[in-house]
Chains A and B, each alone.
Chain A
Amino acid sequence: MSILGNRVLRREDPKFLTTGGTYVDDLPLEGAVHIVYVRSPMAHARIHSIDSTEALRSPGVVAVFTAAEVDLPPMPPGAPFANPAMVRPWLADGVVRFVGDLVAAVVAETREQAMDAAELVLVDYEPFPVVIDPEAAAGSDILVHEAAGTNVVLRMPEDLVSVGMVPPEAATEPPEMFAGCEVVVRQRIVNQRVAPCPLEVRAAASRWDDGHLTQWTTTQAPHGVKASLAQIFGLADDQVRAVAPDVGGGFGAKIGAYPEELFVAWIARKIGRPARWVETRSESMLSLGHGRAQVQLAELGGTRDGRLLAYKLSVIQDAGAYPAFGAFLPLMTRTMLTGVYDIERVYFADTSVATNTNPTVAYRGAGRPEATAAIERMVDIFAAEIGMDPAEVRRKNLVGRDRFPFTTPTGTTYDVGDYEAALDRVLEAAGYSELRAEQQRRREAGEAKQLGIGLSTYVEITNGIPGSEFGSVEVLADGRARVRTGTSPHGQGHVTSWSQLVADQLGIAIEDVEVIHGDTDLVPRGVGTFGSKSLQSGGVAVFQAAEQVVDKARKLAAELLEANPNDIELDKQSGRFQVAGTPSASKTWAELARASGDGGLSAEVDFAASGATFPFGAHLVVAEVDTETGGVTLKRIVAVDDAGRLVNPLIAEGQIHGGLAQGVAQALMEEMCYDEQGNPITANLADYEFVSAAELPSFETYSMETPTPINPLGAKGIGESGTIGSTPAVQNAVCDALRHLGVRHVDMPTSPLRVWKAIEQAKGKS
């Protein structure tokens, strides 16, 4: 019987539960110095001078570096199409552009000494005017990068058209966009800036041994870090090794290598000693990439009987001071523009702009939650406008299950789906009509605590970046298997799931599979773990490598047993290859591995999927809103998610749970705020409203398994669905609770103050 689909307990856990993991800060590194960066306290300023004299005299200080000493090529551009004049220097070169910008690096024998000395670096700043509001950035005379002559980083669709990524006709709004629409609703929506907050902050350590660099770093993509280091320092492939030891969460913010991490290697080389940098949480809040940060103008048109016909979304993406991947993420918003709905006419435009804030990057969902939040809010607003149940409007416009593969108006081809089944399932599981009846009762009774029911029917794209992922399987002389994977797990349980895949194919115990990841010396190639890609790319590579190993073993067994390979069967109970009908003539894995010689019984696969996959689902949130205080309490979160075939439902559920919580976090609580001068005002975990257990209910999760035809496992991604689906469901629930009071929309986070204000404003209008 297959162990795929079983709730296998994680093999990773015992270590974490008894001694804790080994993160970068835990690594013993003989003779390492410690680095603390001096960061700008100003959002935009000229640096007139930096005086390190006193810092250099401070106990234990080894060196203080500023831009003047740096002899590295400039950082590579952080995003495709980004304005090339918006380069990021290693350390601020005369101008600082956000609070947290790097000014100097202090190197000392201990962490404490480096922190003390960093306080003594005197920097003379001349403040400049700032541009913080992304909506004002494009038209502002205040330029984040003087040399660029503009704050515009890139524009869509123009930049996409210019390279042929989208057809020319997408460049302009269709004529008579809203023709035939009896109703058109418009809404400005803020998809606010949030902080990813992995529990482990950033850290990196570097050591040079005779021109060979080893870099330990908390990353989702060690091979990418290796490539960056090789490029920057001009190193050959065998001169650099990147290691991701245990990594305490990433959520997209640890995909790219940050200047702070790469610069550790420069310092280590410069002073001829190993060096380590571990940021504080307060530093991390300032300068680990932020997520989301879109301002959207949405227009949705349709008929009074609920048919959606036209949808337009204009986005302003806040890229922050130095364009990073966040500047480019509106492409993903465009890719998933219409979600699960069949809408004929669409138009999408984006202007990504630079502001005097921390750069934005990928964060759980990365451009897709923004698409889903917009369309799901708009469908609810449209439903309210025509007086139809939002579930009904959804049902009328879902792409039907018989229409796959389905290509959307923005050119995205969905693999497979059954959106109506997901909607039906969530409505039934939640007891939708009873909930509506209770809502009605509270409304009629005029109770202070009103009920809101929020729906979201979503589809998202996973493994969306074309390319291959590496996996290999080798059977060792003792009959155990060794797996190498290019994915780089940091909580996703790949060791367990990949063991299941191999154990299932080879008929050996899960415990007899060793999984190696996160070390570029031990894994020859790799892409990493992000974009919900790992199982369907790296997992499939391992699965196929295991298949090939079984084939090789079968042929070898046939030779040794002097039988026809077609007559050889693998008995997965015993893990022996035997001649059909003659079980006494058999060979074990160990025997075959020994017979084939060192590495003889192994296979490597670089699996490139023929396309992306599109997980989908339906979420329903029940919220109780206190109309006197604006406080929101979540009563229920019901989630139906379809990620295709599940290898380990326990792990898949865990991914959904975490995603749901992060959706709630954005919808209800979290926002990274700057004041008008660009001072961050939520720059530590006391001020930033990180969601805790106390704000969440237990989750009611249901899985559907519609296998994808895209890969042999039938698996789609699961890492981001929870966040993508739940965020608008929570926001819709809050808005739904207030609808009868005349409130049309409340932006996220739907904090008590914002909810209370919306109620008061609506009262004022009536």
Chain B
Amino acid sequence: MKVKLEVNGEAHERDVEPRTLLVYFLREELGLTGTNVGCDTTSCGACTVLLDGESVKSCTVLAAQADGHSITTIEGLASGDELHPMQQAFREHHGLQCGYCTPGMVMAAVSLVKENPDLDEAAVREGLEGNLCRCTGYHNIVQAVLDAARSSREGAW
């Protein structure tokens, strides 16, 4: 079947099997391998992308369901050479180690802060419950998201 969607501002049209998951569409059809697959039960969030600006786990969305929608992946977050404030905050706070959960974690965090820039630590922890990380113990991730939320409130986004 044909699907047509916009990814990181670019229109793409492909003929895919109806069962194709969005994450494999991104990775294999478009070569956007920044989005990772970490599980098969929608538990880990490594595959999180933005669908019309809101975070979704792309292993649980069919490419067909994304037809006509706009997707943002980690590759589309920065503006040219300038990191998105969330990416910058992850870097400054050492919010990543092996990097595998990072693209999904950053996309989930962007969506979380957009929904509620006033969030506190408990809200960050609750809001990222569906994104698993094995390396960082989440401490620096939480610090990064709080810092990025502050910059969002100050109008830096």
Interface residues of chain B: helix, strand, loop or mixed (majority): loop
Contact of B33 among A12, A22, A248, A493 (CB under 8 A): A22
- In the complex, number of A-B residue pairs with CB atoms less than 8 Å apart: 179
In the complex, what distance in Å separates the CA atom of A505 from the CA atom of B36?
A: 38
In the complex, what distance in Å separates the CA atom of A490 from the CA atom of B94?
A: 15
In the complex, what distance in Å separates the CA atom of A282 from the CA atom of B138?
A: 24
Residues A248 and B36 in contact, CB atoms below 8 Å apart = yes
Interface residues of chain A: helix, strand, loop or mixed (majority): loop
Residues B94 and A19 in contact, CB atoms below 8 Å apart = no
The answer to whether the Cβ of B133 comes within 8 Å of any Cβ in the partner chain is: yes
The answer to whether the Cβ of A200 comes within 8 Å of any Cβ in the partner chain is: yes
Q: Which of A137-145, A456-464, A691-699 is the contact stretch?
A: A691-699
Most buried by A among B34, B97, B126: B97
The answer to whether the Cβ of B137 comes within 8 Å of any Cβ in the partner chain is: yes
A interface residues, how many (CB within 8 angstroms): 55
Encode B79-99 as 1/0 by CB contact (under 8 A) with A: 000010001001110101111
In the complex, what distance in Å separates the CA atom of A96 from the CA atom of B135?
A: 34
Encode B8-50 as 1/0 by CB contact (under 8 A) with A: 0000000001010000000100000111111111111010000
User: B132: which A residues are within 8 A, CB to CB?
Assistant: 199, 685, 690, 692
Contact of B98 among A26, A199, A685 (CB under 8 A): A199
Known: A282-B40, A698-B142. A18 touches B134 (CB 8 A): no
Most buried by A among B124, B134, B140: B134
Q: Which of A485-517 contact B (CB under 8 A)?
A: 490-493
The answer to whether the Cβ of A9 comes within 8 Å of any Cβ in the partner chain is: yes
Contact of B75 among A20, A25, A246, A662 (CB under 8 A): A20
Chain B interface size range: 35 or more
Residues A13 and B90 in contact, CB atoms below 8 Å apart = yes
The answer to whether the Cβ of A600 comes within 8 Å of any Cβ in the partner chain is: no
The answer to whether the Cβ of A281 comes within 8 Å of any Cβ in the partner chain is: yes
Contact of A200 among B19, B38, B106, B138 (CB under 8 A): B38
Contact of A660 among B91, B137, B142 (CB under 8 A): B137
Residues B34 and A693 in contact, CB atoms below 8 Å apart = no
How far in angstroms is the closest Cβ of chain A from B83? 7
The answer to whether the Cβ of A10 comes within 8 Å of any Cβ in the partner chain is: yes
In the complex, what distance in Å separates the CA atom of A22 from the CA atom of B131?
A: 20
Known: A13-B96, A16-B99, A698-B142. A657 touches B38 (CB 8 A): no
The answer to whether the Cβ of B129 comes within 8 Å of any Cβ in the partner chain is: yes
Encode A696-721 as 1/0 by CB contact (under 8 A) with B: 10110000000000000000000000
Residues A20 and B74 in contact, CB atoms below 8 Å apart = yes
In the complex, what distance in Å separates the CA atom of A21 from the CA atom of B38?
A: 14
User: B131: which A residues are within 8 A, CB to CB?
Assistant: 692-693
Q: Name which residue of chain B comes closest to A10, CB basis.
A: B94
Known: A492-B97, A693-B129. A684 touches B41 (CB 8 A): yes
User: A564: which B residues are within 8 A, CB to CB?
Assistant: none
Known: A21-B100, A690-B43. A651 touches B94 (CB 8 A): yes
The answer to whether the Cβ of A658 comes within 8 Å of any Cβ in the partner chain is: yes
How far in angstroms is the closest Cβ of chain A from B34? 3
Residues A19 and B74 in contact, CB atoms below 8 Å apart = yes
Encode A645-685 as 1/0 by CB contact (under 8 A) with B: 00000110110011111100000000000000000000011
The answer to whether the Cβ of B119 comes within 8 Å of any Cβ in the partner chain is: no
How far in angstroms is the closest Cβ of chain A from B54? 20
Most buried by B among A18, A200, A657: A18
In the complex, what distance in Å separates the CA atom of A201 from the CA atom of B101?
A: 12
Residues A692 and B39 in contact, CB atoms below 8 Å apart = no
The answer to whether the Cβ of B69 comes within 8 Å of any Cβ in the partner chain is: no
In the complex, what distance in Å separates the CA atom of A690 from the CA atom of B43?
A: 9
The answer to whether the Cβ of A249 comes within 8 Å of any Cβ in the partner chain is: yes
In the complex, what distance in Å separates the CA atom of A281 from the CA atom of B100?
A: 14
The answer to whether the Cβ of B121 comes within 8 Å of any Cβ in the partner chain is: yes
Contact of B135 among A201, A280, A491, A692 (CB under 8 A): A491
In the complex, what distance in Å separates the CA atom of A108 from the CA atom of B102?
A: 31
Residues A654 and B36 in contact, CB atoms below 8 Å apart = no
Q: Name which residue of chain A comes closest to B35, CB basis.
A: A20
User: A21: which B residues are within 8 A, CB to CB?
Assistant: 98-100
Residues B87 and A17 in contact, CB atoms below 8 Å apart = yes
User: A14: which B residues are within 8 A, CB to CB?
Assistant: 83, 91
User: A12: which B residues are within 8 A, CB to CB?
Assistant: 99
In the complex, what distance in Å separates the CA atom of A248 from the CA atom of B46?
A: 11
How far in angstroms is the closest Cβ of chain B from A114? 14
How far in angstroms is the closest Cβ of chain B from A260? 17
Residues B75 and A248 in contact, CB atoms below 8 Å apart = no
Known: A18-B74, A199-B134. A692 touches B96 (CB 8 A): no
Residues B94 and A249 in contact, CB atoms below 8 Å apart = no
The answer to whether the Cβ of B65 comes within 8 Å of any Cβ in the partner chain is: no
User: A15: which B residues are within 8 A, CB to CB?
Assistant: 99
The answer to whether the Cβ of A112 comes within 8 Å of any Cβ in the partner chain is: yes
Known: A249-B100, A492-B97, A694-B126. A13 touches B137 (CB 8 A): no
Residues B43 and A686 in contact, CB atoms below 8 Å apart = yes
Encode B114-141 as 1/0 by CB contact (under 8 A) with A: 0000000100111011111111111111
Residues A198 and B87 in contact, CB atoms below 8 Å apart = no
How far in angstroms is the closest Cβ of chain B from A50? 25
Q: Name which residue of chain B comes closest to A687, CB basis.
A: B41
Encode B52-75 as 1/0 by CB contact (under 8 A) with A: 000000000000000000000011
User: A650: which B residues are within 8 A, CB to CB?
Assistant: 94
User: B34: which A residues are within 8 A, CB to CB?
Assistant: 18-20
Residues A199 and B33 in contact, CB atoms below 8 Å apart = no
Known: A20-B34, A694-B125. A699 touches B39 (CB 8 A): no
Residues B125 and A281 in contact, CB atoms below 8 Å apart = no
User: A662: which B residues are within 8 A, CB to CB?
Assistant: 134, 137
In the complex, what distance in Å separates the CA atom of A10 from the CA atom of B35?
A: 21
In the complex, what distance in Å separates the CA atom of A432 from the CA atom of B152?
A: 38
In the complex, what distance in Å separates the CA atom of A13 from the CA atom of B135?
A: 14
Known: A201-B38, A693-B125. A248 touches B98 (CB 8 A): yes
Residues A17 and B94 in contact, CB atoms below 8 Å apart = no
Known: A26-B33, A112-B17, A692-B128. A684 touches B40 (CB 8 A): yes
How far in angstroms is the closest Cβ of chain B from A669? 12
Contact of B139 among A246, A281, A699 (CB under 8 A): A699
Residues B134 and A251 in contact, CB atoms below 8 Å apart = yes
User: B101: which A residues are within 8 A, CB to CB?
Assistant: 199
Contact of B90 among A17, A20, A200, A493 (CB under 8 A): A17
In the complex, what distance in Å separates the CA atom of A246 from the CA atom of B40?
A: 21
Encode A189-204 as 1/0 by CB contact (under 8 A) with B: 0000000011111000
In the complex, what distance in Å separates the CA atom of A752 from the CA atom of B47?
A: 31
The answer to whether the Cβ of A309 comes within 8 Å of any Cβ in the partner chain is: no
Contact of B129 among A10, A199, A491, A694 (CB under 8 A): A694
How far in angstroms is the closest Cβ of chain B from A594? 32
Encode A169-211 as 1/0 by CB contact (under 8 A) with B: 0000000000000000000000000000111110000000000
User: A699: which B residues are within 8 A, CB to CB?
Assistant: 137, 139
Most buried by A among B37, B90, B141: B37
In the complex, what distance in Å separates the CA atom of A282 from the CA atom of B38?
A: 10
User: B17: which A residues are within 8 A, CB to CB?
Assistant: 112
How far in angstroms is the closest Cβ of chain B from A726? 10
How far in angstroms is the closest Cβ of chain A from B101? 5
The answer to whether the Cβ of A23 comes within 8 Å of any Cβ in the partner chain is: yes
Residues A491 and B98 in contact, CB atoms below 8 Å apart = yes
Residues B97 and A654 in contact, CB atoms below 8 Å apart = yes
In the complex, what distance in Å separates the CA atom of A693 from the CA atom of B5?
A: 33
Residues B98 and A693 in contact, CB atoms below 8 Å apart = no
What are 8 A-B contacts with C-beta separation under 8 Å? A17-B91, A18-B74, A20-B99, A200-B98, A249-B134, A281-B38, A657-B139, A694-B125
Known contacts A19-B34, A199-B98, A692-B128, then 11 further A-B pairs from the complex at CB < 8 Å, ordered by chain A residue = A18-B78, A26-B27, A198-B134, A199-B132, A651-B94, A657-B138, A661-B137, A661-B139, A686-B43, A692-B138, A694-B129
- Residues of A at the B interface (CB closer than 8 Å) are 9-10, 12-23, 25-26, 112, 197-201, 246-249, 251, 280-282, 490-493, 650-651, 653-654, 657-662, 684-686, 690, 692-694, 696, 698-699, 722
Across the A-B interface, the 5 shortest Cβ-Cβ residue pairs: A20-B34, A248-B100, A661-B137, A16-B99, A491-B98
